[in-house]
Amino acid sequence: MNASTAVANSTALRPGSGATPTYWFFHTLARVLARTCFSLRVRGRERLEPLRGRGLLLAANHQSYLDPPLVSLATPWPIHFLARKTLMKWPILGPIFPDLNVIPIDQDRPDMSALKAVIRMVRANQTTIVFPEGSRTLDGELQPAQPGLGLIVAKTLAPVVPMRIFGAFEAMPRNGSRIRAVPIRVAIGEPIFFSAETLAQMGGGGRDLYQRLSEHVMKAIAAIRWDEE
């Protein structure tokens, strides 16, 4: 079955879908922009549907500020985001980020409160996007995983869906001064399931275990490919 679909055809949230009005508005706006500017296509969305209603982690590579809305457009229900606290100071958008399901995190020092918030949401059967690399890439290449995702997995045993974004770095690189209209693709991989037995097989505990879990997910992201049809 051809699982590659244009974003405009299948990811529109509707009022009553569980999204706030603000989330719904910006999701709709992002969908229109993604269709017109980036010809966004998503592949593998059918892998998400069996997980609807469960606590779920979406793990993607981090290329650009465009990544959170791109992952949102690839997911057929509202999701939550981690973002740097400094973004809350942005004019116009900063004050409304909470209505967009944004959880502020301090990247300059450990912020367990944000990770605990993600853990609470997962246990409440919510979906959260986490970028295992921790920050945007400087050169478009995948970066080493950080242990934060692994900590969440170890505490919740939540399934993780690896996702890989292609083209967002070219559209809006970290040190770029403008946005380019280039094709963007999002490929969704097979869900990864964890259990107490899985963690025991990995051995160890604490930060070492968290790091290995994050690296395991990062390898799954790296294995995802997109071949144009």
Under DSSP, the state recorded for 32 is: H
Q: Is residue 43 part of a domain?
A: yes
Q: What is the extent of the structural domain holding 145?
A: 19-171+183-222
Q: Is residue 8 part of a domain?
A: no
Q: Which residue has the tokens 């779920």?
A: 56
Q: Is a pLDDT exceeding 60 seen at residue 73?
A: yes
Query: What pLDDT band is residue 68 in, cutting at 50, 70 and 90?
Result: very high
Q: Is a pLDDT exceeding 80 seen at residue 84?
A: no
The secondary structure element, H or E, covering residue 83 is: strand 80-84
Residues in the chain: 229
Mean pLDDT, rounded, for 206-222: 96
Q: How far is CA 145 from CA 24, 121, 214, in A?
A: 31, 22, 6
Mean pLDDT, rounded, for 157-177: 95
Q: Is residue 10 part of a domain?
A: no
Under DSSP, the state recorded for 141 is: S
207, 196 Cβ separation under 8 angstroms: no
**What pLDDT score does 14 carry?**
46
According to DSSP, the β-strands at 41-43 and 4-6 are antiparallel
Helical packing angle, 148-156 and 206-222, nearest 10° = 100
91: tokens are 């004019």
Q: Is residue 1 part of a domain?
A: no
Q: Is a pLDDT exceeding 70 seen at residue 11?
A: no
Q: Is residue 205 part of a domain?
A: yes
Q: Is residue 82 part of a domain?
A: yes
φ, ψ at 189 (rounded to 5°): -90, 180
**What pLDDT score does 180 carry?**
95
Query: Mean pLDDT, the chain, as a whole number?
Result: 88
Cα–Cα distance between 159 and 194 in angstroms, integer?
A: 6
Q: Is residue 2 part of a domain?
A: no
Q: Is residue 124 part of a domain?
A: yes
Mean pLDDT, rounded, for 107-132: 85
> What does pTM read for this prediction?
0.88
Overall number of domains in the chain: 1
